[in-house]
């Protein structure tokens, strides 16, 4: 059993790699409430673990990351009589992790929290670092708290049932982490594509661990995003705008981030920050995983309007995370006109067919 410890603000977060979850992994004096979505309940909910705890099961997908979803979890905790020394455990993808963490931060002004991420995206990103939240109408993650899980239990075997599209989605966030600070991981993603898509367990576990180390180091330095943590948003200003402009249904988070990475590097290229060879290298990688790098056919104004609603704006100006190279990242304001020009240039021509979508209907 491998373990990595981080200190996020005043909280110590333990990441534990294990083969399966045992009932004693999710135990607390004040009782336990497990949170699933309908898919993860079907896959993992009949375990000895959930029989020992109370459970709430939410509809799968982003539509559960709402006040209503949070209300259901908090009411279930109260009905179960969870004490302040109780535990909320989220078992699922990023949606379940974000929502369970949000509820744990509110229940009795804060109870214990364990996350068991079951998508690759949640393992490499969402479960770590303490950002919790729910979406407001048309505005993703607009209400939330900082509340790191005391324990994050990673069971790589849980990825066996993940649909290909969701696996790929997690690999986009893995590419982001590689770009932020692990050149070896970037090379692994390039060379190991076939083995990763075939879910070779050791390689997947290695990718997850490396991503956790990159993200964990950034968050330890700047837990409340006063500065450096903002680099974790590489590709996300574009990605969130695409998700919002397409109603959060058409693309998974990772698919939107893949396009966002390409756009952030192209923006950097236009501003003279990003060397063209770095941008091309990342585009080749994303294309090799089958991501659609021209998903947007609409007016640039619609994406710009979505960006204006983004939390990353400061003093009314859009800010973008840009790169000079692997591990060399900066955040800077960019004139809206420059962004508009890029969006207009990158819009998919009406005749071109979408590339590489493998939709299976389970996306967020
Ligand atoms: N808090 C953070 O720092 C952070 C970081 C990145 C993303 N996020 C959030 O994460 C969310 C996206 O997460 P996601 O992509 O995991 O989406 P998700 O939670 O909706 O999961 C995707 C789909 O996979 C299913 N699923 C989960 N585990 C499975 C398994 N092992 N086998 C088969 N199916 C499984 C789910 O039921 C769902 O249908 C977004 O809301 C995003 O905002 C948060």
Residue 23, classed as helix, strand or coil, is helix
Atom of ligand 1 nearest to the CA of 95: 19
Ligand 1 pocket by Cβ (under 6 Å): 37, 39-40, 43, 60-62, 65, 92-96, 98, 118-119, 121-122, 125-126, 129, 131, 141, 158, 161-162, 166, 169, 252-253, 362, 364
Q: Which two tokens stand for residue 187?
A: 């090379």
Q: Which atom of ligand 1 is nearest to the CA of 129?
A: 3
**Of 165, 186, 163, the residue nearest 174 (C-alpha):** 186
pLDDT at position 312 is 63
Position with higher pLDDT, 297 vs 49: 297
* CB 169 within 8 Å of CB 362: no
Question: What pLDDT was estimated at residue 309?
Answer: 78
The stretch 114-139 carries a mean pLDDT of 95
Atom of ligand 1 minimally distant from the CA of 37:
37
List pLDDT tens digits, range 225-254. Answer: 999 999 999 999 999 999 989 988 899 999
Please give the average per-residue pLDDT across 176-198, as a whole number. Answer: 98
At 353, the pLDDT band (50, 70, 90 cuts) reads low
The residues near 344 (Cβ < 8 Å, ≥ 6 apart) are 300
| pLDDT digits 0-9 by tens, 98-117 | 999 999 999 999 999 999 99
User: How many CB atoms sit inside 10 A of residue 322's CB?
Assistant: 21
Q: Is 109 helix (H, G, I), strand (E, B) or coil?
A: helix
In degrees rounded to 5, what are phi and psi of residue 348?
A: -70, 130
- Give the pLDDT score at 314: 63
Higher pLDDT among residues 347 and 165, named by residue: 165
3-state secondary structure of 275: coil
* Probe residue for ligand 1, chosen from 35, 39, 57, 91 as the CB with the greatest number of ligand atoms within 8 Å: 39
What is the whole-number distance in angstroms between the Cα of residue 316 and the centre of ligand 1?
A: 31
46 confidence band (pLDDT: 50, 70, 90): confident
Q: What's the 167 CA to ligand 1 centre distance in angstroms?
A: 10
Between helices 276-288 and 183-191, what is the axis angle to 10°?
40
From ligand 1's centre to the CA of 254, what distance in Å?
Answer: 9
Task: Please report the DSSP string for 120-143 in residue order.
Answer: HHIIIIITSS-B--EEETTEEEEE
Residue pair 71/146 in contact (Cβ under 8 Å)? The answer is no
Angle between helices 164-181 and 201-221 (to 10 degrees): 50
92 C-alpha to center of ligand 1: Å? Answer: 7
The CA 247 to ligand 1 mean position distance, Å, reads 17
Higher pLDDT, 99 or 23: 99
- pLDDT of 351: 61
Determine the Cα–Cα distance for residues 308 and 318; give it in Å rounded to an integer. 7
DSSP 245: H
CA-to-CA separations, 172 to 32, 51, 144, 155, 227, in angstroms, rounded: 33, 35, 24, 20, 23
Quick one: DSSP state of residue 159?
G
What integer pLDDT is reported at residue 357 of this predicted model? Answer: 38
Say what percent of the chain tops pLDDT 90. 85
pTM: predicted TM-score of the whole model, two decimal places: 0.93
In angstroms, the CA 60 to CA 96 distance is: 9
Residue 345 burial (CB count, 10 A): 10
């Amino acid at each position: 059993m491998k373990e990595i410890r981080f200190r996020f603000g005043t909280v110590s977060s333990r990441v534990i790699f294990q083969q399966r979850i045992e009932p004693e992994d999710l135990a607390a004096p004040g009782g336990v409430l497990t949170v699933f979505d309908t898919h993860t309940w079907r896959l993992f909910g009949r375990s000895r673990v959930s029989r020992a705890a109370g459970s709430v099961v939410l509809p799968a997908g982003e539509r559960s990351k709402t006040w209503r979803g949070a209300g259901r979890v908090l009411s279930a905790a109260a009905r179960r009589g969870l004490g302040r020394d109780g535990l909320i455990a989220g078992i699922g993808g990023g949606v379940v992790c974000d929502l369970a963490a949000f509820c744990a931060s509110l229940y009795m002004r804060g109870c214990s929290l364990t996350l068991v991420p079951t998508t690759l995206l949640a393992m490499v990103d969402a479960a770590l670092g303490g950002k919790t939240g729910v979406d407001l109408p048309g505005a993703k993650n607009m209400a939330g708290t900082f509340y790191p899980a005391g324990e994050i239990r990673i069971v790589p075997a849980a990825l066996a049932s993940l649909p290909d599209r969701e696996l790929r989605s997690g690999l986009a966030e893995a590419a982001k982490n590689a770009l932020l600070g692990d050149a070896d991981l970037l090379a692994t993603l390039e060379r190991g594509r076939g083995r990763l898509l075939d879910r070779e367990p050791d390689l997947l576990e290695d990718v997850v661990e490396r991503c956790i180390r990159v993200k964990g180091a950034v968050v330890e330095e700047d837990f409340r995003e006063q500065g450096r943590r903002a680099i974790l948003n590489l590709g996300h200003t574009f990605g969130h705008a695409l998700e919002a402009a397409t109603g959060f249904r058409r693309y998974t988070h990772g698919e939107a981030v893949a396009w966002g990475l390409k756009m952030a590097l192209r923006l950097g290229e236009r501003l003279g920050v990003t060397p063209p060879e770095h941008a091309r290298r990342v585009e080749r990688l994303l294309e090799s995983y089958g991501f659609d790098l021209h998903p947007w056919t609409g007016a640039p104004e619609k994406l710009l309007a979505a960006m204006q609603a983004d939390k990353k704006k400061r003093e009314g100006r859009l800010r973008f995370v840009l790169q000079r190279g692997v591990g060399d990242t900066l955040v800077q304001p960019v004139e809206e006109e420059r962004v508009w020009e890029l969006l207009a240039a990158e819009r998919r021509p009406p005749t071109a067919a979408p590339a590489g979508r493998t939709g299976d209907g389970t996306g967020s």
